[in-house]
Each structure stands twice: as structure tokens, then as C-alpha cells.
Amino acid sequence: MSGIENTFVNIYQKDEFDFVTPLYYEILDSDENLILEKHHLIGTNDQIMDLENFKAKSYDSIVYLTWGKESEIYAVCDLKSGKGYPKSKLNKNWKTEFENSNDLVNRLKEINPDLKANWNN
């Protein structure tokens, strides 16, 4: 991942025949310790054969994942505060999760104003 050393994002897709199959992601350290447990990212009707279109980047302690357009964020997590979307380390309600994740995206926009949250489309 660019920006933070020894931190990795793994992406999984269920191997089942269905109209839409889920993609999952998790964040790990270099010793394969979970930083953020596996969680649903998005559903797709594509069979993902490689991770070429996924980019994991960071700014300060914020890790974010794009897919396709590098300006469109699908997942975000602040490693210091635990805030994030679609998975957070905090036990908050969905409204707070959205507010916290939008705050993180706004912080990222300070370095790249073209970034936007996929969940706000």
C-alpha cells in the first residue's frame, strides 16, 4: 500500500455462481495480524480475476481503497481512531458511521480534491 508501510489490504470474492457475488476486504499488518476484520465491500456481477483496478492508498493514518476510478473511494479506515466505512472498529449506528467516514473523505480531499465517496453517489 502506498503511504503506510507494513499494512496490507486483502480482497476476496466468493466463488459461487450467482447474479451478484460479494467482494470482501480486510486490513492486516506485515505479521498478518488483523487490523480490520473481513467485511463486505460491494456486490458485483463481474468475476474479478486480478486486483489491477484496486488501489490501496493512505494519507496520515487514513487508509482508503479505490476500484476502477482512482478518485472513487469504496472503503476508508482511520487506523488511529478506528473510524471507517463500510467497516469501523467503533460500535456506532449507521448514521454516525456515514458522518465519520464522510469526515475522513473530507480530510483526504485536502490532498486530492477529486476524491469522492462511492457511498454518496
Does residue 108 contact residue 59 with C-beta atoms inside 8 Å?
Answer: yes
The rounded distance, in Å, linking the Cα atoms of 35 and 44 is 25
pLDDT at 16 over 80: no
Query: Within 10 A of 119 (CB to CB), how many other CB atoms are there?
Result: 17
Nearest to 63 by CA among 30, 14, 34, 105: 105
Q: Is the pLDDT of residue 38 over 70?
A: yes
81-113 pLDDT, tens per residue? 999 999 988 877 888 888 999 999 999 999 999
| pTM for the predicted model, two decimal places | 0.86
What confidence score (pLDDT) does residue 19 get?
Answer: 74
Q: Could you give the 3-state DSSP secondary structure of residue 101?
A: helix
Q: Is the pLDDT of residue 121 over 80?
A: no
The mean pLDDT of 14-31, rounded to a whole number, is: 84
3-state secondary structure (DSSP) of residue 107: helix
For residues 14-43, average pLDDT: 86
Dist CA 111 CA 14 (whole Å): 34
> Tens of pLDDT along 43-79?
887 777 888 889 999 999 999 999 999 999 999 999 9
Predicted pLDDT at 112: 96
